[in-house]
Amino acid sequence: MDYEALKEQWSEVEERDGVRLSWNVFPSSRMEASRLVVPIGALYTPLKEKPDTPLLQFEPVTCKQPCRSVLNPFCQVDVRARVWICPFCLSRNQLPPHYKDITANAIPPELHPANTTIEYRLSRPAPAPPIFLYVVDLCQEEDGLTSLKESLVMSLSLLPENALVGLITFGTMAQVHEIGYEGCAKSYVFRGSKDYSAKQVQEMLGLSSSGIRPGSHAQPG
């Protein structure tokens, strides 16, 4: 398959699943990974309407610890040995007993090439409520920003009632908004011209055990 055909295939997957990867091919070694100019990541479209998404009434088959990726159409499957190979960590995993009857022509839904997005109805409750973090680019024309605000407000009405919501805006500065603070508008501001380590951000937001939020006071020992 030539490069143009590959690009067309990637575009079809992006449109179907609402996801775009920073790289369409993953590095095969730590050396290759260390040379990436852009980190591996994905832009995902939450709540994308997909009326044809399969809903499976059983638990997903996952890779061994610590990977825990889910069985999917990109996995290599040996139906005779009842083994599947994870495309992320290349671990070999046994298929569960109830997959004993699968063949090359009779595969479970999660292995079908068209089912790159599926949903599972889990028997156990979710351990925590869903979290939605809005990251908004403020560097745009006023009309575009107004339209974006309207879309964000509308999207809030679509979220589950128990969802947790966060907001980060960025322009010249990056602001982490504390939207649950009722007294006034409150946010933590980071200069765009300065580099911050993950530890510094955690401490400034009070997310580490030793972190004290700006404007707050340490409790006496």
Residue 151, in any domain of the structure: yes
Is residue 11 assigned to a domain?
Answer: no
Average pLDDT, the chain: 88
> Parallel, antiparallel, or unpaired: how do β-strands 131-137 and 164-170 relate?
parallel
Asked if residue 157 and residue 138 are part of one domain, the reply reads yes
Last residue of one domain, picked from the residues 73, 89, 124? 124
Please give, one letter per residue, the 3-state secondary structure of 152-166. HHHHHCCCCCCCEEE
Q: Could you say which of 124, 147, 174 is where a domain stops? A: 124
- Between CA 80 and CA 100 the distance in angstroms is 9
The tens digit of pLDDT for each residue in 62-73 reads 999 999 999 999
Count structural domains, the chain: 2
Q: Is the model's pTM score more than 0.75? A: no
Which residue, of 102, 124, 146, is where some domain finishes? 124
The neighbouring-strand residues paired with 92 are 85
In a domain, 37, yes or no: no
Measured in residues, the chain has a length of 221
Q: Are residues 120 and 135 in the same domain?
A: no
136 and 120 both lie in a single domain: no
Strands in 131-137's sheet, in edge-to-edge order, are 131-137, 164-170, 173-177, 187-191
Domain span at residue 164?
Answer: 131-205
pLDDT digits (tens, 9 = 90+) for 40-70: 999 888 778 888 899 999 999 999 999 999 9
Q: Are residues 67 and 89 in the same domain?
A: yes
**Residue 205 C-beta-side C-alpha neighbours within 13 Å:** 18
- Element spanning 6, H or E: helix 3-17
Q: What's the rounded mean pLDDT across residues 131-154?
A: 93
